[in-house]
Amino acid sequence: MKKEDKSIVIEQLQSTLAAYPHVYLADIGGLNAAETSELRRSCYKENIKLVVVKNTLLQKAMENSEVDYSQLFGTLKGETSILLSDTGNAPAKLIKNFSKGNKKGKPALKAAYVEESFYIGAEYLETLVSIKSKNELIGDLIALLQSPAKNVVSALQSGGTTIHGVLKTLAER
């Protein structure tokens, strides 16, 4: 590959990394063509961008990025694919479900940058699956804030029907 071509690829990787807040590094080596196609289809359905990259080009793109990805450099060995997403736990769920379905256990998580934190190693897959996105946390918070108000309104409504029932019973007697 010519130096000009490499610089173009690095610039494209850099802009791609900047476009997504969550970055997963995975090893998909050993998957056959059908399994790789199925993985790509699954990624497309979940709005996850899957990019197979050369480690050296990815490292240079990460070095030029606004985010300090230096903690991920140690995992850039062997075959590396990037899974990029706007939802923090979507790639982790995809990796978990897809690797359960094949004997090779691939894709295998190498590392991740999620919610401005680094997770190095496959042992963090369960943790990453359970991370809630910002929107999910906001939804939970709103539900918690609405709960007392709903209880008060419900109590007032049930109290009104109870009083109505007592008055109706007394009127009939």
Examine residue 91 and say whether the peptide bond preceding it is cis (omega within 30 degrees of 0): no
Confidence (pLDDT) at 123: 83
CA distance 135 to 141: 10
CA distances from 6 to 54, 58, 81, 135 (A): 10, 11, 17, 37
Fold of 3-131: Alpha-Beta Plaits (3.30.70)
Q: Output the six-digit token pair for 77.
A: 């060995």
pLDDT digits (tens, 9 = 90+) for 112-128: 888 778 888 888 788 88
pLDDT of residue 86: 85
Nearest-angstrom CA–CA distance, 141 and 125: 25
What single-letter DSSP state applies at residue 122?
A: G
Which pTM does this prediction carry?
A: 0.73
DSSP SS3 for 28: coil
DSSP code of residue 131: P
Q: Give how far the C-alpha of residue 81 lies from the chain's centroid of Cα atoms, to the nearest Å.
A: 15
Contact 102, 29 (CB under 8 A): no
Q: Exposed/middle/buried for 156, CB within 10 Å: 0-12, 13-18, 19+?
A: exposed
- Judged on CB neighbours under 10 Å (0-12, 13-18, 19+), 2 is exposed
Q: What is the pLDDT of residues 57-115, one digit of tens each?
A: 888 888 888 888 888 888 888 888 888 888 878 888 888 888 887 777 788 888 888 87
Provide the 10 A C-beta neighbour count for residue 104. Answer: 13
25-41 residue pLDDT tens: 888 888 888 888 888 88
Q: What angle do CA 109, 46, 15 make, to 5 degrees?
A: 75
The full set of domain ranges for the chain reads 3-131, 132-173
